[in-house]
Chains A and B, each alone.
Chain A
Amino acid sequence: AQRVTQPEKLLSVFKGAPVELKCNYSYSGSPELFWYVQYSRQRLQLLLRHISRESIKGFTADLNKGETSFHLKKPFAQEEDSAMYYCAPLYNNAGNMLTFGGGTRLMVKP
């Protein structure tokens, strides 16, 4: 079965501190990898995708195929980063269905 593990349910940091949200996925072919974010009272939205190698709102995510990890990082957290973050591999053999991790709630304290 395809699995996504986000080991931390809650991550609390102070403003300006570095933050890393962990994600490990089970290997099944070569999934595309995404991070989605859900801000309070807003819909789920794409934060970044591995294939684009982009940096959005200061966040980056490095794919480590050896460790099957796709951790999300930001060097200096901001209060507005407080949200739920979901790691989501896209397995093409699953009919283009995203598989969501359990989510990590990031709280950035002033």
Chain B
Amino acid sequence: GAVVSQHPSWVICKSGTSVKIECRSLDFQATTMFWYRQFPKQSLMLMATSNEGSKATYEQGVEKDKFLINHASLTLSTLTVTSAHPEDSSFYICSAPPGTGMNTEAFFGQGTRLTVV
């Protein structure tokens, strides 16, 4: 199956710094990527949808200036957590959306565990 690679797998940063998370589709093109946040023992919460060549679409309650999303190419989307605070510590997951018809499996990155100290 298709592979979505997320980097880094984990990162620790100081409060006030920025962290960039990359999400790459390795063997297919993704015009859209979804970014999720997952708290411990909870479900995935959609943060935003990144669109190649246009602005990202953010879910209600997600700060656009805090979580900067850039979809630079058909194989790369990035999420930058700016001025990180301890409450931003979480597990961030990207996903390439399913297509249509039978081949509708969504592919997920391995996730990035962010710890802000």
Interface of A toward B, CB cutoff 8 Å: 32, 34, 36, 42-46, 49, 51-52, 86, 88, 90, 92, 95-98, 100-103, 105
Contacts and interface: CB of A to CB of B under 8 A. Distances in A.
10 contacts: A36-B106, A44-B108, A88-B106, A90-B104, A92-B100, A97-B34, A97-B46, A97-B49, A97-B97, A102-B42
Given A97-B49, A97-B97, A98-B97, A103 B111 contact: no
A12 B60 CA distance: 35
Q: Is the interface of B mostly helix, strand, loop or mixed?
A: loop
B44 interface: yes
A93 to B, nearest CB: 13
Given A52-B102, A90-B104, A100 B97 contact: no
B93 A49 contact: no
Contact of A86 (B44, B97, B110): B44
Contact of B100 (A36, A86, A96, A102): A96
Contacts of B43: 86, 100-103
Interface in B76-117: 93, 95, 97-100, 102, 104-106, 108-111
A45 B98 contact: no
Contact of A32 (B44, B49, B104): B104
A105 B110 CA distance: 19
B32 A95 contact: yes
